[in-house]
Amino acid sequence: MKLCIAEKPSVARDIAKVLGATMPKQGYMEGNGYCVTWTFGHLCTLKEPHDYGPQYKSWNLFLLPIIPKNFGIKLIPNKGVENQFKVIERLVAECDEVINCGDAGQEGELIQRWVLQKAKCDKPVQRLWISSLTEEAIKEGFQKLKPAEDYKNLYLAGNARAIGDWLLGINATRLFTKKFGGNKAVLSIGRVQTPTLAMLVQRQKEIDAFSTEEYWELKTKYRDVIFNAAIDRLKTLERAEKGLEYLKVNPFEIVSFEIKEGKEKNPRLFDLTGLQVEANKKYGYSADHTLQYIQSLYEKKHVTYPRVDTTYLSESLYPKIGGILQSMVIYKDLISPLLEQPIPKSKSVFDDAKVTDHHAIIPTEIPPTQNLSREEKLIYDLIAKRFIAVFYPECKISNTLVEAKVGTIPFKTSGRQILEPGWRAVYAKDTKEPSEKDKDEEQTIPNFTAGETGSHEPMIHQGKTSPPKAYTEATLLRAMETAGKQVDDEELREMLKNNGIGRPSTRANIIETLFKRKYIERKKKNLVATQTGIQLIDTIEDEVLKSPELTGEWELKLRKIESGEYEANQFKEELIQMIKELTKKVVDGKAKVFTLHEEKEEVAEKKKREPAVKKELQTWEETQCPKCKTHQLIKGKTAVGCSDYKNCGFKIPFEIFGKKLSEKQLLDLVLKGKTSKLKGFTTHPESLIEGIVSLSPEYSTELL
């Protein structure tokens, strides 16, 4: 009997159907010589400090650093996990061969290896490696099974990452909490979390320290075209007015007129970070939500594996492209021109050297039906149109540069026109009306002749210097991808990915952790470091913990472990040495006072309500459903709802109109029918950003 272990029950069902294992059993499917079972993501985790010795249960500064001689794993303490593991353990003992059908990535490899290790598997193990869950892809994958040994380095890299995060997270968090946190604050430190927070704090300090200055610029209008003086900004109105007087008494003269035709390259296919960036820019979706939507599309077989960091396709995919395009019937008008001739095989799309575990995210040949949410439809549309756009011709443009002068003062202007839209035609209906700034920058330039002169209309433009822009999730994801370097060029960004901090699949979770720890907050689309977050970074003097570049170097070493160029044990030893040095420095150093920053009114209010809230938070099950008034409420992963949900239907999601509600706010909504006035709503259909969430007479939520 061959045992297949998938990462989720839904994936196991897809695989079982293809293999003919259609007989349901307790915790697995059976048939045709196969048993197909599943994990629920992580069944195992690294042991906690107290598992290595009871003395580590309490946080003691002088027991640090905690460095186990050998790292062990244990089952996650959960009845469902324990029951499913018993099923897997029994099947592993009974089978002749195991086929690892986990997610085809580093985390998926780690999850399955830990489970097999815990189950003491000594059977031959094969690896299924697929990029989509379509029937064709699964069949093809089973025809190309590879020995587990081929993926050993992938596991070693994942294991080294987990151990590195444990070593730094456990030791640094206890170290800084006991040294600086007093009795009030747990100071959470993480290998990726802390340098990410440091970037946000640095930007926040730059914004706070910025001093706005007024400036004046000279402009003039000639033949309905605005020209800008090509000189430094003027610091005083007096100088600007003198310049204006000078312009009024001197004629305008064209010095040169140049038109250059050029091409605008097609956009790249999406990797996960690119998709999260685009969804945040266009729809305001958080990185975490975008990951949820794309994961759902993957499991519904509409797109390929999403947790990828490449924007290229393997060359072997080229023969399948025409079939995928033909299947995308809802985009028939956009696809028809492509199918009239051979699909171009561009190196900017197909390049085996740029593809590692998986290729870029593209649609599969199974188009979506009506079973998608609005958000999933929008994410699919982004992926589908990007896939179509890469095969269109480049966009042809003309750039016009005009230089002029008024007396001795040089002027210039520029314009840009689209001659042939090429790939931009795919997005023609998506384009919004340009802003006034865009219209000014993209003004149409008539033909000028060098030497021509004429009257003009000089003017003064007054402006103010702007502080650096706060990070949004889109710009923060890009900064994490490039270890803090500001990079717009796609090719250069591709080169820097190996040194990025975090992995595409983990960055969303890192950002969510910073929110959960209250180190950052969202103000409209901007991410802002809180006073607690700023003080934490100020408390950490060691640059190793805060530096995106150094963390990027660790990421590069982890990638080298994957490719067999670096030893996992060496990576672990380097981290152990760093933690020993850090511990000594902090323990011997002078303690600071860390104060949790809260407004006085908030603190007073918190003290008043704390006992009652604590009691309520511990007894959701004792809280009566406000709709049926019969059953109690239960708390799920994404919502609080009636325990008799099938009949009653009452449910309140944790997130409403893009804002996550706290436990207190959810309780207010259930017990009082409304919350206090809240801010931070980002996805309300009428663009409301603040208001009171209340229960309607139909027991749905609305914003007043």
Q: Quick one: DSSP state of residue 303?
A: B
In single-letter form, the type of residue at position 518 comes to: K
| pLDDT at 278 (0 to 100) | 95
| pLDDT at 628 (0 to 100) | 73
Place of tokens 């520029």: 414
617 φ, ψ (degrees, to nearest 5) = -65, -25
Mean pLDDT (whole number) for 374-391: 96
Cβ 146 vs Cβ 127: under 8 Å: yes
Going from the C-alpha of 357 to that of each of 217, 352, 379, the distances in angstroms are 53, 11, 23
Q: Strand, coil or helix: what is 285?
A: coil
Domain boundaries for CATH 3.40.50.140 within the chain: 2-144
Q: How confident is the model at residue 603 (pLDDT cuts 50, 70, 90)?
A: very low
Q: Which CATH number fits domain 2-144: 1.10.357.10, 3.40.50.140, 3.40.50.300, 3.40.50.11540?
A: 3.40.50.140
Average pLDDT, the chain: 87
Identify the residue with better confidence: 357 or 83.
83
Identify the residue with better confidence: 642 or 204.
204
Domain boundaries for CATH 2.70.20.10 within the chain: 214-266+395-464
Cβ 648 vs Cβ 600: under 8 Å: no
| pLDDT at 496 (0 to 100) | 63
Q: Residue 30 CA to chain centroid, in angstroms?
A: 38
pLDDT digits (tens, 9 = 90+) for 246-285: 999 999 999 999 999 999 999 999 999 999 999 999 999 9
Spot the catalytic one: 155, 298, 305, 471: 305
SS (H, E, C) 666-684: HHHHHHHCEEEEEECCCCC
For residue 340, give the nearest of 328, 348, 332 by alpha carbon. 332
Answer whether the bond into residue 65 is a cis peptide, omega within 30°. yes
* Alpha carbon distance, N-terminus to C-terminus of the chain: 60
How do 633-635 and 526-529 pair as beta strands? unpaired
Q: How confident is the model at residue 607 (pLDDT cuts 50, 70, 90)?
A: very low
How do 2-6 and 97-101 pair as beta strands? parallel
Architecture in CATH for domain 214-266+395-464: Distorted Sandwich (2.70)
Please list the alpha-helical segments (H only) found in 95-192: 106-118, 135-143, 152-180
Q: How confident is the model at residue 605 (pLDDT cuts 50, 70, 90)?
A: very low
Q: What string of DSSP letters covers 341-392?
A: SPPP--TTTB-GGG-SSS--B-B-SS---S---HHHHHHHHHHHHHHHHTTS
Length of the chain (residues): 704
Architecture in CATH for domain 161-209+470-588: Orthogonal Bundle (1.10)
Please confirm, yes or no, whether 312 is among the known catalytic residues: no
Task: Quote the CA–CA distance of 682 and 523 in Å, as a whole number.
Answer: 9
pLDDT digits (tens, 9 = 90+) for 40-59: 888 999 999 999 999 999 89
Task: Quote the CA–CA distance of 470 and 527 in Å, as a whole number.
Answer: 7
| pLDDT at 590 (0 to 100) | 64
Burial of 655 (0-12, 13-18, 19+ CB in 10 A): middle
Mean pLDDT (whole number) for 203-212: 92
**Fold type of domain 272-389:** Topoisomerase I; domain 4 (1.10.290)
Q: Residue 207 CA to chain centroid, in angstroms?
A: 24
Domain boundaries for CATH 1.10.460.10 within the chain: 161-209+470-588
| pLDDT at 524 (0 to 100) | 87
Domain boundaries for CATH 1.10.290.10 within the chain: 272-389
Contacts of 179 (CB under 8 A, 6+ apart): 61, 586, 587, 589, 591
Listed range (179-183, 491-495, 506-510) with the worst mean pLDDT:
491-495
Residue 593 reports pLDDT greater than 60: no
